[in-house]
A and B are shown apart, each in its own frame.
Chain A
Amino acid sequence: MNKKEQLLIKHVEQLNEEEVLKLSDELLKEGMAPLRLLDLVNEGMNRVGKLYESKDYYIADLIMAGLIFKQVLELDKMTAHFRVKHNNKIGKVVLGTVTGDIHDIGKDIFRGMLEANCFEVVDLGVDVPKEVFLKKCEEYQPDILGLSGVLTNTVDTMKEIVDVFKETGVRDKVKIIVGGNHLTKEVCRFIGADNFANDASSGVRICKKWMDGINESERRVIDNG
């Protein structure tokens, strides 16, 4: 890795917005492949994630990191490249804040971090009724369904959503993760979700682990077939 590449990672890690954008632009102009640039920015984002886990960074920092990442993706050369290439996605997630709850911050951070980790995300927005979750999952066939909520009463709402997936016989077609500060292991079991997360980065870790399992078993099917 050359000096400029190391510097880019460092700027992402330190959330130096202007420097990241300037240097990214420069590297692209010098002929760097967009995928390579994405790898470097992702490495910086991983370091941000580690700083979050070590409690040096907090949610406000993750929001800033997400914004920097988004802006890099929006650079002309990046959009031109990624518009035609979609085959680098590791999994598909349908995501939304559940009925009755209009909070979107946690969901948006989670979405940004999923995208930074090469997930394709279908964001249904806030205050999403169970019927819509069901319909959109039929339509998009995601690997993972993410249910977000801030209000304490979303526990029952999340359970209702999981229940409707059970009732219609499609529960086992999708992994369900619930996200919110008020969720615990016991609550997750009560809801009937596969797992839960109190913050976006642990949520992404769970999703990646699931995809490792899913992609691995798919590879095995292909190999055996």
Chain B
Amino acid sequence: MADAKALAQERTQLFHDIIDGRIPKRVPVFVGFPVEFAIQYAGKDLVEAQWDTSQLEEIFDKVCRDFYSDLLPVNAFRFPSFYRILGARNFVMGSNGFLQHPEVEGLLQEEYDDFIANPYNCIIEKILPRLYTELDTDASTKALTLAKAFKAFQDEMGNAIMIYGKLTEKYGYGDTNFFAGFTEAPLDFVADQLRGFKGISTDMRRVPDKVEAAAEAATPLMIKAGLHPIPPSKYNATFIPLHMAPFMRTSDFERFYWPSFKKLVEALAEAGHPSHLFVEQDWMRYLDYLYELPENTVMRFEYGDPKLVKEKLGQKHIISGFYPISLLKTGTKQQCIDKARELIDILAPGGRYYFDFDKAPVTLDSVNVENTRAVLEFVATNANY
């Protein structure tokens, strides 16, 4: 246990160093394996284990035991129980037991004005009953259903958080949390939950003023959602997975996406909460915008040019990602390790970098396990400053 404590201190120091602008002893490693991956890795049934979460500790433990990471490498954002109680249309299970987000329309195009005038009321009155079919009922049944769902949510999350605590202690993970809170860029919220990808794409042409106003109207709610209950600290960040921007024209991004998103990240930073962005897809044409965000915004990139990112953002922000998990599936062990070395050579100089994959492997067969372990071991033991 003393060893684990010492290890945790050392690992915490690595992350504090990159956030405080010091060069750490070595490149810190923080990878995340979603619950679906962990369940399959532990040899459990995907559907059963998501419903019966009493096996979760054993499941997560196996991932922690076998895959190197300096911070807790497991997490579960969603469980089917509360979505099922709500009759959710926005998160449903595929035939393979994998919870996914299908295209949904929580708000009709002709209802934009209602949302813009009072987003909160519109969410309660119109959007929730549409996204959650069990809330499309009389007021008292609705209240009971919502109470039941929240009970299930609290139970599941409480259990998960307790397990996180135990595993953090057991394996000596560092005390830095890049998933301390969760929110969305305002336009992503309007797209993902209200209008759908196809809906927002056509709205930007058909009713541009309303799209702009809706993103603006959603901003205070997104700020509120991102202010997590963990006391403000520069070492705990709110997670914001970015979605729509790379699929839009630059001029549309400038008008519909960027202003409200910037406002969100700045408001969180002012309240003492840094943001951890999953920079999905390719954002290379937006790097100058990302530069404008408050110092020490954590940015994990999926695709793009690591050299350019290091050059443009590496002095101000915390960079991560880029390692292609597709290579873990198809490459030889040596190719996989060479790729890690190549990325570290580009991204590590000067600090402000931790190692992570370009995206989380959603299921066990997304990667070759041996390659994955080899790469993590390689980085943990060879990436010294």
For B324, list chain A residues within 8 Å (CB).
Answer: 184
For B248, list chain A residues within 8 Å (CB).
Answer: 58, 60
For B329, list chain A residues within 8 Å (CB).
Answer: 152, 155, 187, 190
**9-residue interface stretch from A26-34, A95-103, A114-122:** A95-103
Tell whether A17 pairs with B205 under 8 Å between CB atoms, given A63-B197, A127-B95: yes
Tell whether A127 pairs with B202 under 8 Å between CB atoms, given A61-B249, A63-B197, A155-B329: no
The answer to whether A156 and B102 touch across the interface, beta carbons within 8 angstroms, is no
CB of A90 within 8 Å of the partner chain: no
Give the contacting residue for B98; candidates A15, A55, A108, A151; CB below 8 A.
Answer: A151
**9-residue interface stretch from B111-119, B339-347, B355-363:** B355-363
CB of A59 within 8 Å of the partner chain: yes
The answer to whether B252 and A127 touch across the interface, beta carbons within 8 angstroms, is no
The answer to whether A100 and B202 touch across the interface, beta carbons within 8 angstroms, is no
Tell whether A153 pairs with B366 under 8 Å between CB atoms, given A100-B94, A103-B102: yes
CB of A105 within 8 Å of the partner chain: yes
Closest chain-A Cβ to B273's Cβ sits at a distance in Å of: 30
Tell whether A59 pairs with B198 under 8 Å between CB atoms, given A102-B94, A105-B103, A184-B330: no
The answer to whether A152 and B100 touch across the interface, beta carbons within 8 angstroms, is no
Closest chain-B Cβ to A97's Cβ sits at a distance in Å of: 10
Complex-state Cα separation, A222 to B359, whole angstroms: 51
The answer to whether A156 and B100 touch across the interface, beta carbons within 8 angstroms, is no
Closest chain-A Cβ to B286's Cβ sits at a distance in Å of: 12
The answer to whether B249 and A108 touch across the interface, beta carbons within 8 angstroms, is no
For B100, list chain A residues within 8 Å (CB).
Answer: 101-103, 151
Complex-state Cα separation, A155 to B330, whole angstroms: 10
CB of A186 within 8 Å of the partner chain: yes
Closest chain-B Cβ to A154's Cβ sits at a distance in Å of: 9
CB of B44 within 8 Å of the partner chain: no
The answer to whether B247 and A59 touch across the interface, beta carbons within 8 angstroms, is yes
Complex-state Cα separation, A65 to B43, whole angstroms: 46
Closest chain-A Cβ to B98's Cβ sits at a distance in Å of: 6
Complex-state Cα separation, A127 to B102, whole angstroms: 11
Closest chain-B Cβ to A169's Cβ sits at a distance in Å of: 26
Chain A residue nearest to B281 (CB atoms) is A181
Complex-state Cα separation, A152 to B37, whole angstroms: 11
Q: Which of B201, B327, B362 has the most CB of A within 10 A?
A: B201
Chain A residue nearest to B331 (CB atoms) is A186
Chain A residue nearest to B303 (CB atoms) is A181
The answer to whether A153 and B249 touch across the interface, beta carbons within 8 angstroms, is no
Give the contacting residue for B197; candidates A67, A105, A151; CB below 8 A.
Answer: A105
The answer to whether B325 and A152 touch across the interface, beta carbons within 8 angstroms, is yes
Tell whether A60 pairs with B200 under 8 Å between CB atoms, given A17-B205, A99-B95: yes
CB of A64 within 8 Å of the partner chain: yes
Tell whether A64 pairs with B205 under 8 Å between CB atoms, given A152-B362, A153-B363: yes
Complex-state Cα separation, A163 to B100, whole angstroms: 26
CB of B157 within 8 Å of the partner chain: no
CB of A104 within 8 Å of the partner chain: yes
The answer to whether A17 and B206 touch across the interface, beta carbons within 8 angstroms, is yes
Complex-state Cα separation, A105 to B201, whole angstroms: 11
Closest chain-A Cβ to B276's Cβ sits at a distance in Å of: 21
Chain A residue nearest to B251 (CB atoms) is A56
**8 Å CB contacts to A: which residues of B225-258?**
244, 246-249, 252
Tell whether A104 pairs with B103 under 8 Å between CB atoms, given A151-B98, A155-B366, A184-B330: yes
Complex-state Cα separation, A181 to B325, whole angstroms: 13
Closest chain-A Cβ to B92's Cβ sits at a distance in Å of: 7
Complex-state Cα separation, A152 to B36, whole angstroms: 12
Chain B residue nearest to A108 (CB atoms) is B198
For A56, list chain B residues within 8 Å (CB).
Answer: 249
Tell whether A152 pairs with B361 under 8 Å between CB atoms, given A60-B247, A103-B102: yes
- Given A101-B94, A153-B364, 4 more A-B residue pairs with CB atoms under 8 Å apart are A105-B197, A153-B363, A155-B365, A187-B326
Binding site for B on A (CB under 8 A): 15, 17, 55-61, 63-64, 67, 99-105, 108, 127, 129, 151-153, 155-156, 181-184, 186-187, 190
For the complex of A and B, list the 10 residue pairs with the smallest distance between their C-beta atoms, beginning with the closest.
A100-B96, A60-B201, A153-B363, A63-B201, A152-B366, A59-B247, A186-B330, A156-B365, A153-B366, A100-B94
